[in-house]
Chains A and B, each alone.
Chain A
C-alpha cells in the first residue's frame, strides 16, 4: 500500500517536473533525489526486484530521456541507412535494453550519496553537461556520473550518460556496427530483440 502511494506520488511529481521549464541541473537533482529516496525505502528493489525497479525507472526517469537521440548516437553513421520502420523498432528495443540496465544498477544500490557539481549555463545554450559524483559510503574514490541534456520544446531531455567517463550510449557503437556488418540493420534488430527476450526469461526464472 505504501509503495503504491509512493508510486503514485512519483507519478504526480514526474508530471509536475516535466510540465514547467526546469533548469537542467535542477531537473537532474530532483529526479535523482526522488528515485534514490524511493530505492532507499524499498526493500524489494534493494533485494534485486528488477521488475519493480523498472517500473520506477519507467515512471520517474524515462519522461526526461530522448531515446531517439540516444539510439541515433549509438547507431552513428548507420542511422541514416535505416528505414523509418527500422528506426522505430531500434528506438524501442534500445530503450528496453537501457531501462533494463538502469534498473539492474538500481537494485545494486548500497547507500551511495550523490554530490552535485557547480553548474553554470551560458545564456542561449541548447546543450549542457550536468556533473555529479557518486560517493561510496565506505570511502574510496568517488565515481564521476555526468548527464548530457538538450533543450527541446518539452523541456530539457537527457541524451547521454557517462559513468566514470564511459558513455552508456556510445559504448554500443562498435558492437552495433559489427552486428550491422554481419547481418545488416535487421540483424542488429534481431540481436537486440533476442537480448531483451533473454532478459525477460531470466527475470521470470527469478
Chain B
C-alpha cells in the first residue's frame, strides 16, 4: 500500500514515458544504490569466495540452498495447479536431503527429476494478477509491484530466514547471498559488453524473463510493432497463432530477480 503511494508520488517526476516503468526516476536512484552496494561489498566478497574455494565446494553450497528452496518451489507449483511438477519437487527434496547428503549433491537431477524455478510472484501471475509497474527494490533489485508482493511472501516463509538459531541463520543468509552472487560473476562482463544503458538493459531483461517464467519457458512471441516489413517475411502469422495459448494476462508479464536474468544472460552465449 505504502509502495503504491510512493509510486503515485514519484510518478509526477518521472520523465521516461515508458508505461512499464512509471517511476523510472525513483528506480534509477535505487538501481544506483544497489549497484554501489554491490561494487563496495557484495561483489568483492563474492569474487574472493569464487577464487578461494574449489568448484565442488561451491557447487555443494549452491545445491544445499537449492535443495531448501525446492520445498516452496513445490508448494508454488501445487498452487499453480501443476501437481506433477510439485510432487517432482518434493521428490527432489526427499532424494537430495537423504542420498544427496543434506542437499549437497543434486542426485535428483541425475535420475531425471528436473529442477524448477517458481516463486509467489509467478503464482500470482499464473492466477491472473497483473504485474503492475516495474520497481527496483533496495537490496533485492528488479521486481514488479506484483513480484514485490510475491517477494514479501517468499521471504516470510523462507526456511533459512526462519531458522531459530540466530547465529546459524545469519551465517547461512550471508553465505547464500555470496554464493548466489558468485554464480553471477561471469554474467557481469557480458552485460557490461552488451548494454547501451545498463539500467534499461537489466530492466527489460527482467521483464522478459518473468514473462517467460510464467509460461514455464513457452511464452508466445510478443507481437511485432508494425514496421516496414516489405523486404522481410511477415511475423504476423506467428504472433497470431500464438495468441490462442496466451492466457488473459499476456500483457502482465512478471517474474524473477535480476540476478537470475543476469545469470541467464551471461551463461547464454
Are A104 and B190 closer than 8 Å at their CB atoms? Answer: yes
- Contacts A80-B227, A164-B264, A171-B201 known; A140 to B194 CB distance under 8 Å? no
Are B194 and A163 closer than 8 Å at their CB atoms? Answer: no
B265 within 8 A of A: yes
B residues 204-253 touching A (CB-CB < 8 Å): 204-205, 208-209, 211-213, 215, 217, 219, 221-222, 224-229, 231-233, 235, 237-238
- Contacts A139-B106, A178-B16, A192-B196 known; A105 to B268 CB distance under 8 Å? yes
A-contacting 9-mer, from B55-63, B148-156, B168-176: B55-63
The CA of A166 and the CA of B202, in the complex, are separated in Å by 11
- Contacts A68-B231, A143-B267 known; A178 to B18 CB distance under 8 Å? yes
Contact with A along B191-202 (1 / 0, CB 8 A): 001111100110
A residues 17-60 touching B (CB-CB < 8 Å): none
Which residue on A lies nearest to B213, using beta carbons?
Answer: A165
Task: Point out the residues of chain B lying under 8 angstroms from A176, CB to CB.
Answer: 196
Are B227 and A77 closer than 8 Å at their CB atoms? Answer: yes
Candidate in A108, A144, A151 with the most chain B CB atoms within 10 angstroms: A108
The CA of A100 and the CA of B195, in the complex, are separated in Å by 11
The CA of A141 and the CA of B195, in the complex, are separated in Å by 25
Contact with B along A172-190 (1 / 0, CB 8 A): 1111101101000000000
B30 within 8 A of A: no
Which residue on B lies nearest to A139, using beta carbons?
Answer: B106
Are B201 and A140 closer than 8 Å at their CB atoms? Answer: no
Number of interface residues of B (CB under 8 A): 60
Candidate in A143, A145, A165 with the most chain B CB atoms within 10 angstroms: A165
Q: How far is the CB of B69 from chain A (nearest CB, A)?
A: 11
Q: How far is the CB of A179 from chain B (nearest CB, A)?
A: 7
The CA of A97 and the CA of B193, in the complex, are separated in Å by 8
Contact with A along B1-33 (1 / 0, CB 8 A): 000000000000000111010000000000000
Are B197 and A101 closer than 8 Å at their CB atoms? Answer: no
B186 within 8 A of A: yes
A residues 127-169 touching B (CB-CB < 8 Å): 127, 134, 136, 138-141, 143-145, 148, 150-151, 161-168
Are B204 and A175 closer than 8 Å at their CB atoms? Answer: yes
Task: Point out the residues of chain B lying under 8 angstroms from A181, CB to CB.
Answer: 17
The CA of A141 and the CA of B18, in the complex, are separated in Å by 33
Number of interface residues of A (CB under 8 A): 55
A62 within 8 A of B: no
Task: Point out the residues of chain B lying under 8 angstroms from A197, CB to CB.
Answer: none
The CA of A75 and the CA of B227, in the complex, are separated in Å by 9
Are B269 and A102 closer than 8 Å at their CB atoms? Answer: yes
Q: How far is the CB of A10 from chain B (nearest CB, A)?
A: 17
Are B233 and A150 closer than 8 Å at their CB atoms? Answer: yes
Task: Point out the residues of chain B lying under 8 angstroms from A144, CB to CB.
Answer: 212, 217
Q: How far is the CB of B186 from chain A (nearest CB, A)?
A: 4
A14 within 8 A of B: no
Which residue on B lies nearest to A137, using beta carbons?
Answer: B55
Candidate in A77, A136, A139 with the most chain B CB atoms within 10 angstroms: A139
Q: Which of A101, A102, A140, A170 contacts B106 (CB 8 A)?
A: A140
Are B193 and A77 closer than 8 Å at their CB atoms? Answer: no
Are A77 and B226 closer than 8 Å at their CB atoms? Answer: yes
Are B219 and A72 closer than 8 Å at their CB atoms? Answer: no
Task: Point out the residues of chain B lying under 8 angstroms from A97, CB to CB.
Answer: 194, 196
Are A101 and B208 closer than 8 Å at their CB atoms? Answer: no
A199 within 8 A of B: yes
Task: Point out the residues of chain A lying under 8 angstroms from B224, CB to CB.
Answer: 73, 76
Task: Point out the residues of chain B lying under 8 angstroms from A76, CB to CB.
Answer: 224-225, 227
Q: How far is the CB of B206 from chain A (nearest CB, A)?
A: 9
Chain B residues in the interface with A (C-beta under 8 A): 16-18, 20, 55, 58-59, 62-63, 66, 106, 109-110, 115-117, 186, 189-190, 193-197, 200-201, 203-205, 208-209, 211-213, 215, 217, 219, 221-222, 224-229, 231-233, 235, 237-238, 260-261, 263-269
Per CB-CB distance, the 7 closest pairs between chain A and chain B, nearest first, are: A165-B212, A105-B269, A164-B264, A163-B268, A80-B228, A101-B194, A138-B59
